[in-house]
Amino acid sequence: QAQLVESGGGLVQPGGSLRLSCAASGNIVRINNMGWYRQFPGKERELVASITRGSITNYADSVKGRFTISRDNAKNTVYLQMNSLKPEDTAVYYCNANLFDGRGPANDYWGQGTQVTVSS
């Protein structure tokens, strides 16, 4: 089993920047894909960005050119650099990791969620 702990959320003005971090710990043999999701009030969680172990990335159209996902495999950590933030980016952001803990098939783990609010 493993745990994902997020940090870096907060309040920022439109046009500002924020960086989210998510560190995995516990019984980790291998982390495969990692990603960031967000959930708007009353809506389902949606993919923001994903990254493979080899650092191949994918982004939702709404964040392309503004957000950058990266990872540090030695630290079991994934980051989301968010630039040119817009009010419509306001949401709870969750990190995700597909990982193998050595005791069965790989499973998805989720962070606790961190609030990002973009407002003047």
The residue type at 45: R
| Distance of alpha carbon 28 from alpha carbon 20, whole angstroms | 21
Render each residue's pLDDT in the chain as its tens digit; 120 residues. Answer: 899 999 999 999 999 999 999 999 999 999 999 999 999 999 999 999 999 999 999 999 999 999 999 999 999 999 999 999 999 999 999 999 999 988 889 999 999 999 999 999
**Distances in whole angstroms, Cα of residue 2 to Cα of each of 22, 56, 114, 118:** 13, 23, 18, 31
**Three-state secondary structure call for residue 88:** helix
